[in-house]
């Protein structure tokens, strides 16, 4: 299946889930590593439970995703909740449409891990480009410990295709290092990430500063 179509469907399926409007465990954890104020960009924000959380904490938030359903639902929620968030449609497999040195924080919850190693490397470089010096990247990734990996077809090291044709990258702490080395100084890099939604509690957490 085309990945865009897959995500359009998922966002409709998630409307009724109890976790969909709750700030994630990772967002609440990551907040203490952010500068006290500034501009924050969320990549793959989905329906924006974390973008809305950060906006309520006083950050100037831009929320992005490539799913029209996600962005429409997010827009309805920010109008209803009267939070101020800029919404942009951004496909992570392209260059980011933002100026260099323009954000204090780039944040992504389970959205930077759908790409082959070339595109993944490019995404990290693009994030590095748009962050201000000393700016913070906070991201949560799939883990190689996830039992679903065994059911999927391996395309390259750490990169798999599901039976529905969706590609997914699974990280380890060591493989995450290969993408960030030289461009980010790690503050947190471990496998203690968890969500309200999934059973797994060994997701890869990365929080680091632009070198």
- Separation of alpha carbons 40 and 48, rounded Å: 13
Nearer to ligand SAM, 90 or 207 (CB): 90
CB of 113 to ligand SAM, least distance (A): 9
Of 28-36, 44-52, 73-81, 123-131, the segment contacting ligand SAM by CB under 6 A is 44-52
- Separation of alpha carbons 209 and 211, rounded Å: 6
Element (H, E) at 203: strand 203-210
Q: Which of 45, 78, 96, 123 binds ligand SAM (CB under 6 A)?
A: 45
- 156: burial class by Cβ within 10 Å (0-12, 13-18, 19+)? exposed
Q: 144: closest CA among 197, 208, 189, 204?
A: 204
Q: Which of 92, 123, 127, 180 binds ligand SAM (CB under 6 A)?
A: 92
Residue 67 makes contact with ligand SAM by CB under 6 A:
yes
**Residue with tokens 């409307």, as numbered in its chain:** 15
CB of 133 to ligand SAM, least distance (A): 26
Q: 127: closest CA among 136, 140, 115?
A: 136
Residue 42 gets the label, from left (phi > 0), alpha (psi -120 to 50) or beta, of: beta
Question: Which residues in the 98-117 window bind ligand SAM by CB under 6 A?
Answer: 109-111, 114
CB of 42 to ligand SAM, least distance (A): 7
β pairing state of 85-89 and 60-65: parallel
CB of 93 to ligand SAM, least distance (A): 5
CB of 181 to ligand SAM, least distance (A): 24
CB of 194 to ligand SAM, least distance (A): 12
- The first and second tokens of residue 66, run together, are 């490539």
Q: Which of 46, 135, 193, 208 binds ligand SAM (CB under 6 A)?
A: 46
Q: Which of 58, 76, 93, 153 binds ligand SAM (CB under 6 A)?
A: 93
**Contact string 163-182 vs ligand SAM (x = CB under 6 A):** --------------------
CB 29 within 8 A of CB 131: no
- Separation of alpha carbons 23 and 158, rounded Å: 28
Binding site for ligand SAM (CB under 6 A): 3, 7, 24, 44-46, 65-67, 70, 90-93, 109-111, 114
């Amino acid at each position: 299946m085309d990945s865009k179509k897959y995500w359009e469907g998922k966002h409709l399926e998630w409307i009724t889930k109890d976790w969909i409007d709750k700030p994630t465990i990772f967002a609440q954890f990551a907040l203490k590593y952010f500068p006290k104020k500034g501009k924050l960009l969320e990549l793959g924000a989905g329906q924006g439970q974390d973008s809305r959380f950060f906006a309520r904490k006083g950050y100037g938030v831009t929320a992005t995703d490539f799913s029209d359903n996600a962005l429409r639902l997010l827009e309805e929620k920010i109008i209803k909740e009267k939070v101020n968030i800029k919404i942009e449609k951004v496909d992570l497999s392209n260059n980011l449409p933002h100026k260099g040195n323009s954000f204090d924080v780039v944040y992504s919850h389970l959205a930077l891990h759908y790409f082959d190693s070339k595109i993944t490397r490019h995404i990290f470089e693009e994030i590095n480009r748009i962050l201000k010096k000393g700016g913070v990247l906070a991201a949560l990734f799939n883990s190689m410990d996830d039992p679903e990996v065994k059911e999927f077809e391996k395309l390259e090291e750490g990169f798999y295709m599901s039976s529905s044709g969706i590609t997914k990258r699974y990280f380890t702490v060591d493989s995450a290092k290969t993408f960030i080395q030289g461009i980010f100084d790690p503050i947190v890099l471990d496998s203690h990430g968890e969500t309200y939604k999934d059973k797994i509690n060994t997701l890869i957490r990365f929080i680091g500063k632009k070198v």
